[in-house]
Amino acid sequence: MLKGFKDFIMRGNVVDLAVAVIIAGAFGKVIEAFVTVIMDLIGKVGGQPNFSSWAPGGVHLGTLLTVTISFLIVAAAVYFVVVVPMNHIAARRKAGEEPAVGEEPAASSDAVILLAEIRDALRAR
């Protein structure tokens, strides 16, 4: 039973998930600070950046407006800071696509030749 638990914990995807949660927590603080700066700028332009007390006709819509603006700022920050750079990295990787199976790589360094021989030997087994 403990061996199964150890195997589960040592699986790559569990470790990756743990790292992602830790990074997300740290990144969340950066995003919160960014939202605060943007809300302060909104406050400089249009008055109070916290619309919570706004209640036209007695309906408290201010909190919804504040949270919606914060969400849009967070979504924009994540998109421009994480998604766009990752898309550029993925495009660069795709531009240098790996050769198809059975196709020899263009480079002929000793390491590439040795790896190709090891691959062929493993396939022959």
Instruction: Report d(CA 73, CA 56) in Å as an integer.
Output: 24
Dist. CA 51–CA 43, nearest whole Å: 10
pLDDT at residue 18, as a whole number: 77
Q: Cα–Cα distance between 44 and 21 in angstroms, integer?
A: 34
pLDDT recorded at residue 99: 52
Contacts of 9 (CB under 8 A, 6+ apart): 15
pLDDT given at position 81: 82
Give domain limits for the chain.
2-124
pTM: 0.49
Burial of 51 (0-12, 13-18, 19+ CB in 10 A): buried
Q: Which two three-digit tokens encode residue 124?
A: 């022959």
**What is the block-wise mean pLDDT of the chain (125 residues), using blocks of 10 residues?**
75 74 83 82 75 80 84 84 85 72 60 82 85
Q: How far is CA 81 from CA 34, 44, 60, 88, 94, in A?
A: 12, 25, 33, 12, 21
Nearest residue to 53 via CA among 45, 41, 65: 65
